[in-house]
Homo-oligomer: A and B are copies of this chain.
Amino acid sequence: MSKGRIEAFSDGVIAIIITIMVLELKVPHGESLDALAPLGPVFLSYVLSFVYVGIYWNNHHHMLNAVHTVTGPMLWANLYLLFWLSLFPFATGWVGENHFAAVPSAIYGVVLLMAAIAYWILQQIIITSQGRDSLLRKAVGSDWKGKVSPVLYLAGIATAFWSHWVSQGCYVFVALMWLVPDRRIEKALASRES
């Protein structure tokens, strides 16, 4: 299987996920601004999830850039990642509708955490398949963002039962941390070519 297929399929699934999330933003029945007010938290959680899916799309493609041959395990690890991403619309809708209540906030963090683990598994499978001189291993380097993120997700899950401000703060912080696009792989690729 060529890399193009896995990229096209992942692109398709991620494009649909990022778009159907907006369906949780249900059209209100009233016509006044007051009718929009209850949608505030749903809108905020939509924004956050949109940013997260955007980050995953971005990093996913940087990662696949470093891949030459697609193997069976890679394919399934990729589907496993897409599975957790596909739960974003559900988690987003639930946390938004309940104004960032404790349990939905924690579940939102669990979905973020599982997606991060799935991403890490995919990354490890690609690195292993590339052997000793793995381009991706060099590109990822110490991967401090990848190590800090799960810890912050766990913090977000734990603090959800105490203060949803702190909990959401953790999730927002991780998103901001990743918003800086991942240039490590680009650099490794560039340094190899030179």
Please encode chain A, from 63 to 83, with 1 for each CB lying within 8 Å of some chain B CB and 0 for all others: 001000000100110010011
Q: In the complex, which residue of chain B has the Cβ closest to the Cβ of A6?
A: B61
User: What is the distance, in angstroms, from A36's C-beta to the closest C-beta of chain B?
Assistant: 7
Contact of A97 among B19, B27, B57, B93 (CB under 8 A): B27
Q: What is the distance, in angstroms, from A122's C-beta to the closest C-beta of chain B? A: 14
CB-based contact B86/A22 at 8 Å: yes
Is A188 located at the chain interface by the 8 A CB criterion?
A: no
Q: Give every chain B residue within 8 A of A83 (Cβ-Cβ).
A: 47, 50
The answer to whether B23 touches A20 (Cβ under 8 A) is yes
- In the assembled complex, how far is the CB of residue A132 from the closest CB belonging to chain B, in whole angstroms? 24
- Shortest A171–chain B CB gap in Å is 17
Of A10-18, A112-120, A140-148, the one with at least 4 CB within 8 A of chain B: A10-18
Please give me the residue from chain B that is nearest to A9 by CB atom. Answer: B11
Residues of B with C-beta under 8 A to A15: 9, 12-13, 16
Q: Which residues of B contact A19 (CB under 8 A)?
A: 13, 16-17, 20, 86
In addition to A5-B7, A8-B11, A31-B101, 20 A-B residue pairs with Cβ atoms within 8 Å of each other are A1-B62, A5-B11, A9-B11, A9-B14, A12-B16, A13-B15, A13-B18, A15-B16, A16-B19, A16-B20, A19-B20, A20-B20, A20-B22, A20-B23, A25-B87, A27-B90, A27-B97, A31-B103, A36-B103, A76-B181
Q: Is the CB of B18 within 8 A of A86?
A: yes
A94: Cβ under 8 A from any B Cβ: yes
Instruction: Return A158 CB to nearest CB of chain B, in Å.
Output: 15
Q: Which of A13-64 contact B (CB under 8 A)?
A: 13-20, 22-25, 27-29, 31-33, 35-36, 47, 50, 54, 57-58, 61-62
